[in-house]
Amino acid sequence: MGISSEAGVKRMSDKFGPVSLSELTFYVNRAAFGAGCYYGVADDITAVAVSLAKKNDDPTILLTKAFDNIANKTVDTKLSKVTSDQETIFTAISENQTSAISAGIAVSDFLKMQSESERFHILVNNVDLPALLILCLKALSETIAIEKAEVSTQSGLQKIECSDVSACSDIQSGDVELTLTNQSLASSKKIPAINDHHNIAVSQEGWNGIRKHFNNSLVLATEESRLSGAGAGVIDTD
Amino acid sequence: MTTQQPIQTGSIGLRPPEEILTLKKMGTSFPTRISFMRNIIRKIHHQKWNIERREFKLDRDGFGHAVYTIHTTERPYSLIVFSHDLAPEKRSDRVIAEAWDATFNLFDGIPTKEDIDRLASNTPLQEAGRFSKSEFVLGRANKSLRMFSLLLDCLKSGQQPDIDKVAAVGYLMRTTAVYGSGKFGCADRTAIEERSEIQSSFHAELLAVYLFRSFTTDLIDHIAKSQAPDTAVALNGDIKRFLGIGNSTGLGMAPFLLKHTRLLHQWVTLKETALNRVRNHQDKPDIALTSFKANLAKAILHIHQWNVEDEIQTADILSLRQDMYKFDGWLNDYTVTSTVWNDIYQFATKNLDTEAVSLIESLMIECNGPIVDDLADQMFEGESKIFDPSMDLSTLLELIHKHYSWVDSIDFSQPDNTAKFWYYSEEKLEPRFGDREIVPGAELEMPLSIARDVVDLKKALEASDVQTKVGDFLLTYPEFRHVIKRIQTIDHYPYGEVRDNLIHKETRPIDLLRFKLAFFGASKFDPKSSLWTRINMYQGAPHAHEILDADPDAWAFPVKPELSA
């Protein structure tokens, strides 16, 4: 099970690991940065990955897709927000699709800026991975209650349940319409963690995807960087 | 997990972060009695943890494996060591090495044969191996060839080694990495959060190092006896006690410290609380002064035995010695009053250099175990950052003014102020500190250019409507998300930030390393460059066989033992 050498990664089965939470945290965080996320965003997406892993859900496949879209610049991570009496609309500032990661974080921030017990209608236009948007919201907003989550795709209107990550990860891109309620922390139902600290099984394909973006966060090693950047002598017999 | 914040009492307040969290001050840190290793030794002694050598299957040259089990009041832990024949060409201190003289794990419980067999296939590979939640720690060490050869020759011929030659190195083996907290599949930090015996920072790692120290002295005795059964003698107990475990520490520790703002705050708060309690303490000043003078004499001897090759550190040590003589002279003329502790502190800060002040702070804490030792068990803290998107930008600007006014004096248009950057190398993911103009990849730098990021944020804020909420600001400026989280967190944890430009041309990461290693309890800092240092751990500490009967606090400022002829 080689994770230290990219050349050594073999696809012997579609299961990899188990990995520790620490490893998941480190690799996802660096992978997000390697894909092009800013550090503060990478921290939030890491929290999403950890939250899913603690429920024994494998976050790597969906995150790899999201990172691919960011790295390939097919999505925008900067958003605009328009609020009316009826709803709040989030839209990418360019013609690209809206990154589900950025949208999930933005909607979560928006909810934290509001009063408790309020009900909100939110529309996020042209989201690349609607399921991931919902998962981000659930992970980042402990107090949120999702009454309705629907996505308008080219093939029609689709409800998002997302009680099972793998079952909803194939939902096509589209406009996501949400009805949400901000609850007090005391009244919100916190889903207990199943896996507290270890034995996180991830798919080999997902882990390879994370590793691909992770590797893009690393600086090429040169003799110069080895000598001046790390400092230590190569041989030390004392 | 969050610890309880200590409550300050007394008329003298805690020192402000700006006074103690500069690189200059951090780079003069000394261990204290609330450092991690000191706490571990006290715990073993007071809670009567029994240590047994369960297996010692080594050949006549010392190659094989050994198991040491420590029975804490809660549960047992075992050190499993594999001792290897290392070819000279593979000997390297660097994290990129691939073979070592010894490799080890701290195991949760008592290992079965199957556990040992499994680890025998993985532990020697270190980063290339794979571990389970049964392993808390993974580490490796190399011999000091000079020391090993000296001691082995002496013991085999029935002689004890020259203590001066022993002191020149101070250890038989030197760890080159000690990993914990989920690395390479090991148990996560969360697995020990509820285990009171090892929940404090780095206690699992340093417990492993303590047990490994026993292995090194057992190893030298074993080889000497195996190779010269008719003439060999065991190493003298006083010399054994004076031998610690060496360590070569590189850059990895620096990013850790900068990322874990709440933990840094907790450590500093506790040390500052200890010093503060002492400065406010006015009980039995005569006895206090007598105790202080005894420790001072030992500390002065200790720094006379602290000799290094590094020119900068040597100059600092020479200056420190002069300052300590000056201080000793003042103390001899001092007429004791009830404010003796604060009088000592005031004299030091007004008359001595930073390194001497740091040593005197450590000495003051050393002499006051009954009022500070409770702090040592609170050296842990949760890690989540505080983030409030509903804060308006005017409030955020106030926080910047409150905690980051020191960045205003840094002109980031000057190349020297951005000359360096921190990064992860593709080579074993080693953290490195590079020259922006020479090393390609500066766009991948770690988010440790905090001062520059705050300055950039200020510019963006000043161009924005200050009534805007942070959450709305971040829609179009997501690049500032990490630094805003940091600022909001520091408002609650003000000792969590280093008040210096960490990417300046002259920045010495070794200052951060020394600060952190002093919290560990390391001594004899021996810088090999501005990027890495050797240290000694547990030098002078009682060994496993004597720890239950020995004074667990007698090893502060270790000095060479006086041996009878």
Beta carbons of A78 and B444 less than 8 Å apart: no
Please tell me the predicted confidence (pLDDT) of residue A187. 61
DSSP string of B89-156, one letter each residue: GG---STT----SEEEEEEES---HHHHHHHHHHGGGGGGS---TTEEEEEEEEE-HHHHHHHHHHHH
Burial bucket for residue B286 (CB in 10 Å: 0-12, 13-18, 19+): exposed
Q: Give A5's pLDDT tier (boundaries 50, 70, 90).
A: very low
B115-137 pLDDT, tens digit each: 999 999 999 999 999 999 999 99
Question: B424: which chain A residues are within 8 Å (Cβ-Cβ)?
Answer: 30, 217-219
Could you tell me which residue, A119 or B451, shows the higher pLDDT? Answer: B451
Q: Are A55 and A23 in contact (CB under 8 A)?
A: no
Contact B440 A2 (CB under 8 A): no
Q: How confident is the model at residue A155 (pLDDT cuts 50, 70, 90)?
A: confident
Residue B525 burial class via C-beta count within 10 angstroms: exposed 0-12, middle 13-18, buried 19 and up = buried
Distance CA B203, CA B388 (A): 33
Mean pLDDT of A162-170: 69
Interface subset of B 185-224, CB within 8 angstroms of A? 185-191
Window 123-142 of B, Cβ < 8 Å to A: 127-128, 130, 133, 142
Choice among A115-119, A172-176, A184-188 with the minimum mean pLDDT: A184-188
Are B187 and A20 within 8 A, CB to CB? yes
In contact, B218 and B55? CB cutoff 8 Å: no
What mean pLDDT comes out for the span B448-475? 97
B537, B547, B555, B554: which is closest to B71 by C-alpha?
A: B547
Residue A38 touches partner B, C-beta closer than 8 Å: yes
Q: Number of residue pairs across A and B with CB atoms under 8 Å? A: 191
Of residues B166, B167, B124, the one with CA closest to residue B148: B166
Report helix, strand and coil shares of chain A as percent, to nearest 5.
Answer: 40, 25, 35
- A77 φ, ψ (degrees, to nearest 5): -105, -5
Instruction: Reply yes or no on whether the pLDDT at B188 is more than 60.
Output: yes
Residue with more model confidence, B289 or A165: B289
| pLDDT reported for residue B5 | 54
Residues B339-384 have pLDDT tens digits of 999 999 999 999 999 999 999 999 999 999 999 999 999 998 877 8
Nearest Cα residue to A131 out of A202, A196, A72, A52: A52
Cβ contact, residue pair A220, B441, below 8 Å: yes
Question: Is B260 strand, coil or helix?
Answer: coil
**Chain B nearest C-alpha distance from A152 (Å):** 23
Q: CA-CA distance, B232 to B235, in Å (whole number)?
A: 9
Q: How confident is the model at residue B428 (pLDDT cuts 50, 70, 90)?
A: confident
Digit-coded pLDDT (tens) for B73-88: 999 999 999 999 998 8
Taking CA–CA distances from A26, the nearest residue in chain B reads B183
The mean per-residue pLDDT over the stretch B142-157 comes to 96
Strand partners, B143: B173
Chain A neighbors of B382, CB-CB under 8 A: none
Residues of chain B numbered 143-162 and touching chain A (CB < 8 Å): 144-147
Helices A60-71/A130-140 angle, 10° precision? 110
**What does the buried/exposed string (b/e) look like for B357-376 if buried means 16 or more CB atoms within 10 Å of the residue's CB?**
bbbbbbbbbbbbbeebbebb
Mean pLDDT of the B209-213 span: 98
Q: How confident is the model at residue B97 (pLDDT cuts 50, 70, 90)?
A: confident
Distance CA B76, CA B340 (A): 44
pLDDT at B186 exceeding the cut of 50: yes
pLDDT higher than threshold 70 for residue B391: yes
Under an 8 A CB cutoff, do A230 and B424 touch?
no
Mean pLDDT of B418-430: 92
Instruction: List pLDDT tens digits, range B497-513.
Output: 999 999 999 999 999 99
Chain B residues whose beta carbon lies within 8 Å of the beta carbon of residue A81:
472, 475
Tokens linked to A206: 């997902």
Q: How crowded is the C-beta side of A211, counted as CA atoms within 13 Å?
A: 18
With beta carbons under 8 A apart, name residues in chain A contacting B142: 236
B54-59: average pLDDT: 98
pLDDT band at A165 (very low <50, low <70, confident <90, very high): low
Strands A119-127 and A15-19: unpaired
> Does the pLDDT of residue A90 top 70, yes or no?
yes
SS3 content of chain B, % helix, strand, coil (to 5): 50, 15, 40
Contact between B191 and A198 under an 8 Å Cβ cutoff? The reply is yes
Encode pLDDT of B20-38 as tens digits. 999 999 999 999 999 999 9
pLDDT in tens, A221-230: 887 777 777 7
Residue A37 contacts residue A77 (beta carbons within 8 Å): yes
Residue B565 to residue A72: CA distance in whole angstroms: 75
**Closest by Cα among B51, B65, B154, B58 to B115:** B65
Q: Give per-residue pLDDT as tens, B302-352.
A: 999 999 999 999 999 999 999 999 999 999 999 999 999 999 999 999 999
Give how far Cα B155 sits from Cα of A56, A60, B160, B430, B542, Å: 56, 57, 6, 39, 21
Statement: residue B517 has pLDDT above 60: yes
| Cα distances (angstroms) measured from residue A2 to each of A46, B66, B71, B240, B416 | 22, 27, 34, 40, 41
Q: What is the mean pLDDT of residues B163-171?
A: 96
What is the model's pLDDT at position A17?
Answer: 74
Identify the CA nearest to B128 among candidates A4, A12, A44: A4
Closest-approach residue (CA) in chain B for A34: B444
What ipTM score was computed for the predicted complex, to two decimals? Answer: 0.92
With contacts defined as CB-CB under 8 Å, which chain A residues touch B475? Answer: 78-81, 106
Evaluate if residue B541 carries a pLDDT over 70. yes
pLDDT digit string (tens) for B227-274? 999 999 999 999 999 999 999 888 888 899 999 999 999 999 999 999
- A231 closest CB neighbour out of B188, B444, B531: B531
Distance CA(B283)–CA(B261), nearest Å, equals 35
pLDDT at residue A6 in the model: 32
The two tokens of residue B386 are 């505080």
- Asked if B480 and A226 come within 8 Å (Cβ–Cβ), the reply is no
| A112 and B CB contact within 8 Å | yes
pLDDT (tens digit per residue) in A190-221: 555 666 556 788 999 999 999 999 999 999 98
Phi, psi of A147 (to 5 degrees): -85, -40
| C-alpha distances out from residue A76 to A73, A137, B478, Å | 7, 18, 11
Tell the burial category of A183 from Cβ atoms under 10 Å away from its Cβ (0-12, 13-18, 19+).
middle
| A47 residue type, one letter | A
pLDDT for res A4? 33
- Strand, helix or coil at A213? helix
Please provide residue B193's backbone torsions phi and psi, each rounded to the nearest 5 degrees. -60, -30
Q: Which chain A residue lies closest to B442 (C-alpha atoms)?
A: A219
Sign of CA dihedral B335, B339, B345, B347: negative
Q: Give the span between the Cα atoms of A108 and B288, in whole angstroms.
A: 57
What pLDDT, in 10s, does the model give residues B400-412?
999 999 999 999 9
**Radius of gyration from C-alpha coordinates of chain A:** 20
What pLDDT, on the 0 to 100 scale, is given for residue A186? Answer: 56
Express each pLDDT in B7-22 by its tens digit. 555 799 999 999 999 9
How many angstroms away from the CA of A10 is the closest CA of chain B? 14
Measure in Å the smallest separation between the Cα of B433 and chain A Cα atoms. Answer: 5
Q: Judge contact between B206 and B537, C-beta under 8 A.
A: yes
**A residues 158-217 lying closer than 8 A (beta carbon) to B:** 196-199, 215, 217
Measure CB to CB from residue A197 to each of B94, B188, B484 and give the nearest one.
Answer: B188
Please answer yes or no on whether B447 and A39 come within 8 Å at the CB atom.
yes
Checking if the pLDDT of B92 tops 80, the result is: no
**Percent over 70 (pLDDT), chain B:** 98
Whether A162 shows a pLDDT value over 90: the answer reads: no
The shortest CB-CB distance from A109 to any of B188, B471, B532 is to B471
A9–B contact, CB cutoff 8 A = no
Q: Is B172 exposed, middle or buried (0-12, 13-18, 19+ CB in 10 A)?
A: buried
**CA quadruple B179, B183, B184, B190: dihedral, nearest 10:** 130
Cα angle at A78 between B408 and A65, to 5 degrees? 120
Mean pLDDT of B196-206: 96
B475–A77 CB contact, under 8 Å = no
What part of B 456-495 touches A (C-beta under 8 Å)?
A: 469-472, 474-476, 478-485
- pLDDT one-digit tens code per residue, A61-84: 999 999 999 999 999 999 999 999
The number of CA neighbours under 13 Å toward the Cβ of B304 is 12
Contact A198 B191 (CB under 8 A): yes
- Say what the pLDDT of residue A9 is: 32
Predicted pLDDT at B187? 94
- Is residue B531 within 8 A of residue B433, CB to CB? The reply is yes
Nearest CA in chain A to B448: A39
Name the residue with tokens 């030390």: A236
For B46, other C-beta atoms within 10 Å of its C-beta total 12
